[in-house]
Amino acid sequence: MLKPYASQPMETRGRLFDETLSTFRSPFQRDRDRIIHSSAFRRLKHKTQVFVEHEGDYYRTRLTHSIEVAQVARTIAGALGLNEGLAEAIALAHDLGHSPFGHTGEDALVDLMAPYGGFDHNAQALRIVTKLEKHYANFDGLNLTWESLEGIAKHNGPIVGPYADPKKHPADAPVPYALAEVNDRFDLELHTFASAEAQVAAIADDVAYNHHDLHDGLRAGLFTADDLMELPLTGPAYEEVDRLYPDLDPNRRNHEALRRIFGYMVEDVIAIANNRLASAMPETAQDIREMDRTIIRFSKPFFQNLKAIKSFLFNRMYRAPSVVVERKRVTKMVNGLFPLFMEKPDLLPQEWRAEVDLAKTDTELARIVLDYVAGMTDRFAIQEYERLFDAK
């Protein structure tokens, strides 16, 4: 039973292009299914979080991460009486706009696109689901509902206005062009917070990557269980496992400890959300949007403990010497491919040539090149770099 402040599927604000309702699925379930069947979603299989795609079969990819985020989002949404289908759709779509090579590739594209309107992976995800997917007879993109588009755009908070994060969205900074293009066609109310379901997808992202980065870092040998026993949350989790299961083999011990961390995070979010919802007493989904802060969040003490874990991961994993070496290597690839395609757009695949021919300015060309490069998988980007630069 959905709560009154949940997103009600029959009250959706609709789609850019009108469609008849599905017989068996709600509008948000249809969104979820279209995302799963999209080309961009399949490509996430070979896009990575931290480790480059070829480094090992056990490390998370953008695809497995998105599935884990969706699972967490469904659990939290269900516990809070929110719309699970919408939360799941936003969770599955939240990383569609990411470039190859994780945040390293994104950082490189941000710099390369600075003269041409910038690069933002959430805005790029909107561009994918409203333009770049070309499978349907009556429209480009996936023709998602307003609520799903809003969630993709704003799951991390407002983009403009007094409640926008000034670090992410400075007051004098323009709205990313890919987001502005969609917003001009379908007003996403960029000054408000997103629905509770979108906020759930955002915090499910935090839960998933905090959990699996610890797991992947252990597997990669970047730190040990003894290191984690010195940290808040992880230390008590290991102590509980050791008390219940003495002499457990290391792999099972790590799994048991980290699954407890997973549970701690989800339980904290649900408890705080229930308290905040009871206090705020929202009556509609729009009431959630118009609040002055997020309704879905960690408790302050828990968030401080997570900051300690994130700081540890930053120093021991994201900036580990082996990862830094790989970051430099793949940055060189992106910094090579983008200017090459700008200089020689005839190197782009044949299906991209028609758009290239229509480009009247360097900015228009750069945005086409960005769409192509950002859509690459790790594997394909490496292959293209080796093919094009070994041939020079």
Residue 323 pLDDT greater than 90, yes or no: no
Mean pLDDT of 290-304: 97
* Per-residue model confidence as pLDDT tens digits over 27-40: 999 999 999 999 99
Based on the domain organization, do 171 and 94 belong to the same domain? yes
Domain count, the chain: 3
* 38 falls within a domain: yes
Mean pLDDT of 171-180: 92
Residue 49 pLDDT greater than 80, yes or no: no
* 106 falls within a domain: yes
Residue 148 pLDDT greater than 50, yes or no: yes
Residues linked to residue 145 through DSSP beta bridges, in sequence order: 15
* 4 falls within a domain: no
Based on the domain organization, do 314 and 333 belong to the same domain? no
DSSP line for 134-147: ---SS-SS---BHH
Contact call for residues 131 and 141 (beta carbons, < 8 A):
yes
Structure tokens at 134: 């070309």
Helix segments in 245-361, DSSP class H = 250-280, 285-289, 300-313, 321-343, 353-358
Based on the domain organization, do 65 and 83 belong to the same domain? yes
* 21 falls within a domain: no
Specify the CATH number for the domain of residue 112. Answer: 1.10.3210.10
pLDDT score recorded for residue 53? 45
Residue 15, SS3 per DSSP: strand
Helix pair 250-280, 300-313: axis angle to 10 deg: 140
Based on the domain organization, do 365 and 251 belong to the same domain? no
Based on the domain organization, do 265 and 361 belong to the same domain? no
Residue 339: other Cβ atoms inside 10 A: 12
Structure tokens at 208: 């998933």
* Per-residue model confidence as pLDDT tens digits over 340-384: 999 999 999 999 999 999 999 999 999 999 999 999 999 999 999
**Could you list the residue range(s) of the whole structural domain that residue 143 is in?**
27-186
Residue 57 pLDDT greater than 70, yes or no: no
Query: What's the angle, vertex CA 261, arms to CA 259 and CA 265, rounded to 5?
Result: 120
**Separation CA 359–CA 278 (nearest Å):** 53
Burial class of residue 133 in the structure, from the number of CB atoms within 10 Å of its CB (0-12 exposed, 13-18 middle, 19+ buried)? buried
Average pLDDT of every residue of the chain: 94
Based on the domain organization, do 257 and 347 belong to the same domain? no
Structure tokens at 299: 């408790």
User: Which range among 49-53, 215-219, 258-262 shows the weakest confidence by mean pLDDT?
Assistant: 49-53
Based on the domain organization, do 159 and 239 belong to the same domain? no
Helix pair 146-154, 84-93: axis angle to 10 deg: 50
**Separation CA 163–CA 186 (nearest Å):** 21
Phi-psi region of 281 (alpha: psi -120 to 50; beta: other; left: phi over 0): left
Closest CA to 195 of 1, 6, 372: 6
pLDDT score recorded for residue 320? 86
* HSE, side-chain direction, 13 A CA sphere, residue 259: 7
* 1 falls within a domain: no
Domain boundary, last residue among 168, 186, 204:
186
Based on the domain organization, do 89 and 229 belong to the same domain? no
* Per-residue model confidence as pLDDT tens digits over 265-287: 999 999 999 999 999 999 999 99
* 217 falls within a domain: no
* 237 falls within a domain: yes
φ, ψ of residue 294 in degrees (nearest 5): -70, 145
**Helix and strand element counts for the chain (H, E):** 18, 0
Predicted confidence band of residue 60 (pLDDT cuts 50, 70, 90): confident
Residues linked to residue 15 through DSSP beta bridges, in sequence order: 145
* Per-residue model confidence as pLDDT tens digits over 153-164: 999 999 999 999
Based on the domain organization, do 230 and 305 belong to the same domain? yes
**Separation CA 87–CA 94 (nearest Å):** 11
pLDDT score recorded for residue 48? 83
* Per-residue model confidence as pLDDT tens digits over 190-244: 999 999 999 999 999 999 999 999 999 999 899 999 999 999 999 999 999 999 9
Domain boundary, last residue among 282, 304, 321:
321
* 206 falls within a domain: no
Structure tokens at 175: 């709205």
Based on the domain organization, do 313 and 332 belong to the same domain? no
φ, ψ of residue 82 in degrees (nearest 5): -95, 175
Cα dist from 167 to 64, 160, 193, 319, whole Å: 29, 12, 16, 22
Contact call for residues 86 and 30 (beta carbons, < 8 A):
no
Share of the chain above pLDDT 90, in %: 90
Mean pLDDT of 173-201: 96
Residue 14 pLDDT greater than 60, yes or no: yes
Based on the domain organization, do 289 and 367 belong to the same domain? no
Based on the domain organization, do 50 and 169 belong to the same domain? yes
Cα dist from 391 to 71, 275, 340, 376, 386, whole Å: 45, 62, 13, 20, 8
Question: What is the reported pTM?
Answer: 0.95
**Separation CA 77–CA 83 (nearest Å):** 6
- Give Cβ neighbours of residue 75 (< 8 Å, ≥ 6 apart): 266
Contact call for residues 63 and 45 (beta carbons, < 8 A):
yes
Residue 54 pLDDT greater than 80, yes or no: no
pLDDT score recorded for residue 58? 55
Domain boundary, last residue among 321, 345, 370:
321
DSSP summary character for residue 375: T
Residue with structure tokens 């200089």?
A: 343
Residue 232: other Cβ atoms inside 10 A: 16
